[in-house]
Amino acid sequence: MNPHRRSPLVIVSTVLVYFFLYAPVVVLFLFAFNSSKTNVLFEGFITQVGPTEIVSGNVIRSPCGAFHWFCELARNVEVRNAARNTLTIAFVSTITSTIIGTLAAIALQRYSFRLKTFSEVSLYIPIVIPEIVMGIGILVLFSQLFTLLNNTLSLSGDSQLTLGLGTVIVSHIAFSIPFVTLVVRARLHGFDKAIEEASMDLGANEIITFWRVTLPSIMPGVLSGALLAFTLSLDDFVITFFTTGPGASTLPIYVYGLLRRIVTPQVNALSAVWISIVLVVVFFTQRLQSRQM
Amino acid sequence: MLRKLREDRSFQGAVLISPTLLFMIGLLIIPLLLTLVISFGSRAPDGTVIYGFSFDNYVRLSGVRTECDNGKSLCLDPIYIQILSRSLSLAFNTTVLAILMAYPLAYFIARAPARKRNTFLFLILVPMWTNFIIRVYAWMMLLRTQGVINSVIGWLAGLVGLHFTPFEMLYTQGAVLVGMVYEFLPFMILPIYTSLEKIELSLYEASADLGARPFRTFLRMTLPLSIPGVVAGTILVFVPVMGTFIVSDLLGGRQIVLVGNLIQNQFLIARDPTFGSAASLMLMTLTLIVTYFYTRKFGFGEEIVTA
Amino acid sequence: MNEFCVELRDVVKRFPTPEGSEVFAVDHVTMQIKNGEFFSMLGPSGCGKTTSLRMVAGFEWPTVGEVYIEGEAMGRRPPYLRPVNTVFQSYALFPHMSVAENVAYGLEMEKTPKYEIKRRVGEILEMVKLSGMERRKPRQLSGGQQQRVALARALVKHPKVLLLDEPLGALDLKLRKEMQLELKALQQEVGITFVYVTHDQEEALTMSDRIAVMDHGRVLQIGAPVEIYERPNSRFVADFIGETNFLSGEARAIEEDRVTVYIPSLKDELVGAKAAPVNVGDQVVVSMRPEKIRLASDRALPQNCFSGIVLNTAYIGSDTRVIVDLGGAPLAVWEQNKISTLDPEAYYAPGEQVWVVVLPENALVLQDV
């Protein structure tokens, strides 16, 4: 009996599900090269290179040729701002939540202390409640807190506390920590404590042991945790939506705004760029991870 | 202090966990408690909160009214109950559909030769690395009346010389369902795959050796062993579907109002945070109750970790 | 130089249990380990041998009592400040480091110069026959090779004492036998004190200069292998080391080192050697090793000679292992096959009536506890 044998039914449904997963992505990419400005039907590629010429909503000629919408995207100041915000938020929250979450994973997996059950439960909550509940909770907190502080300290104008990049970053850290902890703990689960004892036995103190033995052996877990935190932050809409303020728009928020108004193939171009960047990041983390072991 | 740090393990643990606790208390526990406090308050005319202790918001959620159009002193306005039941049935349908689609795929990957499995898994994740919003947008493009699906069908109909009236697909319940399944399908595939992948191939051989045909092997061995994965996947799909408001907002138009839309609306348009808070707490309680009973019945696998 | 390399003085280690009470892992243990000695702690799992070793290494601290290394009290000194090194049961090799990096780790911690590290790592790897494996990762090695890396990593630091926690436990039988001899040879070569923890009595007997037999957190007997085997001081030690037969009875008379014991199951008296303090009237057990019992076809001696029936025999080459029904209980007797013959008459057969003969010095009288 061949254990790899699968029934035709399984194979057919597998193919269909992959088609279901990829058809929208393919359409997304294809329409990034659409000559039609309204982007409802695919009107063909932009074939001519030269000064931009638009005839009844169709781009006939562009300095960037087929990549017209990518160039438009690069020129779009709002997109550039949103991209900068998105990346700032993602980097800061990933680094912070990875450090904090890793420490928590070590604490929960290896130590016993008071409040341990409380910590475990509170780390489970963000995973098992809808994101919107946490999002509006944080919104309520900040709006009440800021109103209170602005009134008592009689802050006004620019010095007033408002929602913005800071509140988004703090919120992203908070919702990423549980996921980082989960991933790192899974890695620590199979960790042989004896290698730390061996390190101390060979003359390394607790700090050297952590840096030279503990951290390197859980590094693949820490990296997966960081990658997860990074993609969660990049992808997040709900929490950002409720905690962001003027001037702190991220790409998902910006796109959401566009979808409610008018959509040009710029959004498709953005999608194409986006997925390429994420793929590159994933590729490098995987490389790093495989080199670790 | 330093001596304590070196020798007292419970103190070491407390030090390591403290930044996490700070974040969890500050940005989870306190916000949830504040939501609770506010839900007992009422809305001031300017949209701010008047603190108080009344159950008005909860009574309103239940649909019981004291001011009625027909002059009676008590009547029932089921609008919020309808929203809730719509959300529940959508979440249920999404979950079932996701299981039906995810299971064969997960099974296919789990039984593929080991070196190919990672590639297949990777292929599932790639569409996920586009953005949540962008994935919804892709379905808008596909489902529009003049969109890709209708164009393709129209073109095929034209080939055989048939007249084709485009389907109205966007802004329907079906569109929201498809969008939800698309968004959360990988969260069903991965845990099921994890539990299937753990089944050693020798078990299949043992089952065959003991005389079970493939289908019986599946029913008696594979399916029971993969239940933890299905449970984890269900939670990972059901919970977010219950709270998502963008998919219904963009693919369902104004017609399909879910709990998420209700909450968002109260905060950003109707400007009644007290009622929004009550609705949000109701949503949380409901999902916690459902997942609690569900996991208690089926157990809670570690599969949720790997997803 | 201190006479004792390692000393445990009245050491107690209590662990809290999940139920909230406490359990004695080590219960008032005192041991003195001499310089250059191969010392084994032997006992079943949970007897406190590993905890005792870990207290010497510094991974645990005594609840009460004190550990001395080279006459110096260790108190709560951490492992990295103690002149001992450990070979772990799981080897505990650093998975992300190569063989050479693993071995060099301890020297780097001592800030040994680079060229010196290189030389010593090379030397020690040659000693454990791992030259050429420097750049391999631990998971690319066999169990036996990993074991040698763990050994090299600990020995390269020239510790005063090498602690070994069941280092051969994960190896298969054949490899284990080889490694036992190698370890013993290595210990003689480097002249370092070895403290060896094992539950395998044969291993302890083969390698050790002295053995401490432990049970339930207590040391029952400390002595050279021959003392432990030939003069166990308790029923547990007699039972745990090697094989033996027990007969229960009551001490009737004591004359110097001879004890006359009445054995109810035989309805007869047996004269044995006094191996532990016993008084007239005590309930005692008589321990008789199977290879020290003789079988005869007729009553050879006026005393210590009992009639039985052969139940079962197993020919295993060097010996024939005979089970005799003696007063209703089975008794194991190993008859050495000193004469080469194919004659079936030369061997005992089931159903045969025999006389069991045991010399008083081979019947050890112990307290029945």
Q: What is the CATH number of the domain that holds C270?
A: 2.40.50.100
Give the Cα separation of C353 and A155 in Å (integer).
Answer: 109
Of C58, C89, C94, the CB nearest to A195: C94
User: Look-up: residue for tokens 């088609």?
Assistant: A19
Cα–Cα distance measured from residue C185 to residue C172, given in angstroms and rounded to the nearest whole number? 20
- Residue A5 pLDDT: 65
Across chain C, what does the average pLDDT equal? 92
Residue range B87-124, pLDDT digits in tens: 999 999 999 999 999 999 999 999 888 888 888 998 89
Q: Which CATH code for domain A77-261? A: 1.10.3720.10
**Angle in degrees, 0-180, between the axes of helices B114-125 and B173-197, rounded to the nearest 10:** 150
Q: Do residue C202 and residue C256 come from a single domain?
A: no
Mutate to test the interface with C, among A202, A205, A211, A214 (most CBs of C within 10 A): A202
* Per-residue confidence (pLDDT) for residue B248, from 0 to 100: 93
Pairing status of strand C210-215 against strand C38-42: parallel
Residues above pLDDT 70, as percent of chain A: 97
Chain A positions touching C80 (Cβ under 8 A) are: 200-205
Residues of chain A found within 8 Å of residue C101, distances taken between Cβ atoms? none
| Cα distance between the two ends of chain A | 35
Q: Which residues of C touch A188 (CB under 8 A)?
A: none
CA-based nearest distance A277→chain C, Å = 30
Tell me how far apart the alpha carbons of residues A227 and A93 are, in angstroms, rounded to a whole number.
11
Measure the CA–CA gap between C351 and A216, rounded to whole angstroms: 68
Distance from C-alpha of B95 to C-alpha of B233, rounded to nearest angstrom: 9
Taking the C-alpha atoms of residue A147 and residue A142, their distance in angstroms, rounded to an integer, is: 8
| pLDDT, position A2 | 56
- Average pLDDT for C292-316: 89
Tokens 């370890």 -> residue:
C183
- Per-residue confidence at C50, pLDDT binned at 50, 70, 90? very high
Find the CATH number of the domain harbouring C111: 3.40.50.300
Chain C positions in Cβ-Cβ contact with residue A195 (cut-off 8 Å) = 92-95
Look at A197 and C59 and tell me if their CB atoms are within 8 Å: yes
Contact A127 B304 (CB under 8 A): yes
Nearest CA in chain C to A289: C96
CA atoms within 13 A on the CB side of C310: 22
Element (H, E) at C86: strand C84-87
Strand C64-69: give its sheet, edge to edge. C22-34, C4-16, C64-69, C72-73
Which alpha helices (DSSP H) does chain C contain, by range? 49-57, 99-109, 114-127, 143-155, 173-190, 201-207, 225-230, 235-240
Among C198, C216, C235, residue at a domain's last position: C235
- Name the residue in chain C with its Cα closest to that of A195: C92
| Interchain proximity A11–B108, CB inside 8 Å | yes
Residue A172 C-alpha, separation from nearest chain B C-alpha, in angstroms? 10
C322 three-class SS: strand
Query: What is the extent of the structural domain holding C293?
Result: 243-367
Q: Would you state the structure tokens that stand for residue C293, as one six-digit string? A: 């019992």
Q: What is the pLDDT of residue B29?
A: 95
CB–CB of B44/B50 below 8 Å? yes
Q: Return the minimum-mean-pLDDT range out of A20-24, B169-173, B183-187, B217-221.
A: B217-221
Cα–Cα distance for residue pair B180/B237, rounded to 1 Å: 9
Contact A203 C93 (CB under 8 A): no
Identify from B6, B133, B268 which residue to disrupt to test chain A contact, counting A C-beta atoms within 10 A and taking the largest count: B133
* Pairs of residues, one from chain A and one from chain B, whose beta carbons lie less than 8 Å apart: 269
At residue B1 the predicted structure's pLDDT band, cuts being 50, 70 and 90, is: low
As for how many domains chain B has, the answer is 1
Flag whether pLDDT at C69 surpasses 80: yes
Asked if residues A134 and B30 have their Cβ atoms less than 8 Å apart, the reply is no
Task: Answer whether A101's CB lies under 8 Å from A184's CB.
Answer: yes
Could you give the count of Cα atoms lying within 13 Å of A129 in the half-sphere of its Cβ? Answer: 25
User: Nearest CA to CA, how far is C52 from chain A (Å)?
Assistant: 15
**Shared domain check, C200 and C260:** no
Measured distance CA(B264)–CA(B276) in Å, rounded:
7
pLDDT above 90 (res C228): yes
Q: What is the pLDDT of residue B306?
A: 45
Task: Report, as an integer, the average pLDDT of A102-108.
Answer: 93
Q: Does the beta carbon of A110 lie under 8 angstroms from any beta carbon of chain B?
A: yes
Neighbours of chain C (3+ CB pairs under 8 A): A
Nearest CA in chain A to B253: A260
Question: How sure is the predictor about C5, in pLDDT bands with cuts at 50, 70 and 90?
Answer: very high
For residue B16, give the nearest of A39, A107, A271 by CB distance.
A107
CA separation for the pair B174, B178 (Å, rounded): 6
Q: Domain tally for chain C?
A: 2
Residue A169: per-residue pLDDT: 96
- DSSP helix/strand/coil, A276: helix
Provide mean pLDDT across the span A145-161. Answer: 85
Contact B246, B133 (CB under 8 A): yes
The letter for the amino acid at B7 is E
pLDDT for residue B74? 78
pLDDT at B33: 96
B142 found inside a domain = yes
- Asked if A114's CB is within 8 angstroms of B264's CB, the reply is no
Q: Which two tokens stand for residue A148?
A: 């209170």
Query: Which range marks the domain in which residue B244 is found?
Result: 79-298
- Those of residues 182-221 in A touching chain C at CB distance below 8 A are 192, 194-195, 197-206, 208, 212-213, 216-217, 219
Q: Which token pair is B151?
A: 């164009």
Q: Subunits with at least 3 CB pairs below 8 A relative to chain A?
A: B, C
Chain C residues close to A200, C-beta within 8 Å: 58-59, 78-80
Strands (E), chain A: 48-49, 53-55, 58-62
Of A194, A203, A216, the CB nearest to C80: A203
Q: Are A201 and C86 in contact (CB under 8 A)?
A: yes
C301 and C188 in one domain?
Answer: no
Predicted pLDDT of residue A48: 80
Predicted confidence (pLDDT) at residue B303 exceeds the cutoff of 80: no
Residue C177 and residue C92 share a domain:
yes
Instruction: Please check whether residues C15 and C94 belong to one and the same domain.
Output: yes
- Binned at pLDDT 50, 70 and 90, residue A201 comes out as very high
Q: Average pLDDT of C331-345?
A: 89
Q: Average pLDDT for residues A173-198, to the nearest whole number?
A: 91
Which residues from chain C sit within 8 angstroms of residue A112, using beta carbons? none
**C315/C254 same-domain check:** yes
Closest alpha carbon to C68 in C58, B289, A116, C59: C58
pLDDT at position B307, please?
Answer: 42
Confidence of residue B300 (pLDDT cuts 50, 70, 90): low
The torsion defined by the Cα of C285, C289, C290 and C296, in degrees rounded to 10, comes to -80
Domain co-membership, C218 together with C249: no
Contact criterion met (CB < 8 Å) for A203 and C157? yes
> Which CATH number does the domain housing residue B187 bear?
1.10.3720.10
H or E stretch at B102: helix B79-110
Among C194, C214, C235, the domain boundary falls at C235
Mean pLDDT to the nearest integer, A79-93:
94
Same-domain status, C215 and C249: no
Q: For the beta carbon of residue A87, count every other beta carbon within 10 angstroms.
A: 16
**Sequence-distant contacts of A13-22: CB under 8 A, at least 24 apart:** A13/B101, A13/B104, A13/B105, A14/B104, A14/B105, A14/B108, A17/B101, A17/B102, A17/B104, A17/B105, A17/B185, A18/B105, A18/B123, A20/B101, A20/B182, A20/B185, A21/B123, A21/B124, A21/B127, A21/B182, A21/B185, A22/B127
Do C151 and C275 fall within a single domain? no
Give the DSSP letter of residue B167.
Answer: P
The CA distance from C351 to C328, in Å, is 14
The verdict on a CB contact (< 8 Å) between C94 and A194 is no
- Chain A contact set for B17 (CB, 8 A): 103-104, 107-108, 113, 115-116, 119
CB under 8 Å to A213, separation ≥6 — which residues?
A195, A196, A198, A199, A204, C94
C110/A203 touch (CB, cutoff 8 Å), yes or no = yes
Domain residue spans of chain A: 77-261
The C-alpha atoms of residue C50 and residue C199 are separated, in whole angstroms, by 10
Q: Give per-residue pLDDT as tens, C180-203.
A: 998 999 999 889 999 999 999 999
Mean pLDDT over B52-61 rounds to 88
Determine the average pLDDT of the residues in C300-306: 85
C-alpha span between B218 and B239 (Å, rounded): 28
Residue with tokens 């929203």: B83
C362 plus C340 within the same structural domain: yes
Distance CA C30, CA C11 (A): 7
Per-residue pLDDT, A291: 66
Res B305: pLDDT: 47
Return d(Cα A104, Cα A122) in angstroms, integer.
12
Q: Rg of chain A over CA atoms, in angstroms?
A: 24
Which tens digit of pLDDT belongs to each residue from A218-252?
888 899 899 889 988 988 999 999 999 888 899 99
Pairing mode, strands A58-62 and A48-49: parallel
- pLDDT at residue C162 tops 80: yes
Sorting pLDDT into bands at 50, 70 and 90, what band is A1? very low
Global pTM exceeds 0.90: no
Q: Are residues C38 and C87 in the same domain?
A: yes
Q: Is the pLDDT of residue B7 over 90?
A: no
Q: Is the ipTM of this complex over 0.85?
A: yes
B253 falls within a domain: yes
Q: Which helix (H) or strand (E) holds A96?
A: helix A77-110
Cα separation, A244 vs A251, whole angstroms: 12
The CA distance from B176 to B169, in Å, is: 10
* C-beta of residue A93 within 8 angstroms of C-beta of residue B250: no
Q: Which residue from A225, A226, A249 is spatially nearest to A79, judged by alpha carbons?
A: A249
* Strand pairing class (C161-165; C193-198): parallel
